[in-house]
Amino acid sequence: MGTTQLDSVPEPKYWHLKTVIGEALDTDFSVGEILPNERDLAARFGVARATLRQALEQLELEGRLQRRRGVGTTVAPPRVGVDVSTTRHRWPGAADDSWRPVDCGLPEVPAAVARLLDLDPAAGAPVHMVRRIRLTHGQPVAAEQLYVPASSVPALTAIDAPSGPTRARAVLRELQRLTLDGQDRAVELGSARAEDAKELDRLPGAPVLVVTTRYFSAGRTAALSLGTYRADTCRLTFGDAGDLQIAS
């Protein structure tokens, strides 16, 4: 028989689908264009809807597609570069930095946060939590929880607004008065908590890049930031030489 080479390791259907659809996106579709719905696509490729969805999920993970319930599946624009470099040593909230303060409160801090702030978990020292949203081209790309021990901003009076954006700005303003000795940063994959998902216009559990930043002042950790970036639409950039190239 003239059968072709046996597939010693046959490729899964969804993997093949992903390749085929991915190539079609490059050639037959333009950014923003809407794809046929999942039932049609599945029928067209002769697979079950669940299998087709596996392929679409991967393409969405890679930022090639955007899916919205009740609307449809569209071709995603290229990911936007979001600068998260640590080379400029600045406190959060400095001289407008594309973040919009949303709220502020004095929550109980998770044990993991307390540990990173070098706080005694049992002591229950008060910690401000500033909540901010980062916008790029008018779209929300990140939600942040910034933990600031009250001891870092002692001059802050409780007389001002106890919560809300005004309070958030007050905390950030006080932070600028400290000397920033340094910062360090880590990036890892996570899934969006319900609260963050809402602000990012995603469903809970959506893949996100979690950026953890410690701000050091006077030999201690003066603030801790937990940034949640949309993994589908963002590319985090650390550019200490990004502009060398523009000359071309």
Q: Are 49 and 38 in contact (CB under 8 A)?
A: yes
Other CB atoms closer than 10 Å to residue 70's CB: what's the count?
4
Contacted entry of DNA, a second copy, none for residue 37, CB cut-off 5 to 8 Å set by kind: DNA
Give the binding range for a second copy (CB under 8 A) out of 28-36, 124-132, 159-167, 225-233.
225-233
List b or e across 190-201, with b for residues whose CB sees 16 or more CB atoms inside 10 angstroms.
bbbeeebbebbe
Nearest distance in Å: CB 74, a second copy: 19
17 interacts with a second copy by CB under 8 A? no
87: left (phi over 0), alpha (psi -120 to 50) or beta: alpha
Told to check if 113 binds a second copy by CB under 8 A, we report: yes
Q: At residue 214, what are phi and psi to the nearest 5 degrees? A: -105, 135
In sequence order, the 6+-apart residues with CB closer than 8 A to the CB of 211 are 84, 142, 185, 186, 187, 225, 226, 227, 228, 229, 236
Residues 23-62 that bind DNA (CB under 7 A): 35, 37-40, 46-51, 53-54
Q: Find out whether 216 and 183 touch, Cβ atoms under 8 Å.
A: yes
Among 203, 207, 210, 214, binds DNA (CB under 7 A): 203
**The one segment of 7-15, 108-116, 167-175, 228-236 that binds DNA by CB under 7 A:** 7-15
Closer to DNA by Cβ: residue 178 or 203? 203
Among 49, 68, 100, 115, binds a second copy (CB under 8 A): 115
Q: Is the dihedral of CA 167, 168, 173, 177 positive or negative?
A: positive
For residue 146, the minimal CB distance to DNA (Å) is: 28
Out of 21, 64, 73, 171, the only residue in the binding site for DNA (CB under 7 A) is 73
Instruction: Give the pair of three-digit tokens for residue 35.
Output: 């794809």
Task: Specify the residue, 85 or 166, whose C-beta has the smaller distance to a second copy.
Answer: 85
Binding site for a second copy (CB under 8 A): 15, 18, 58, 61-63, 79, 81, 86, 110, 112-113, 115-116, 118, 181-191, 204-205, 207, 209-210, 212, 214, 216, 219, 221, 226, 231-232, 234-242, 244-248
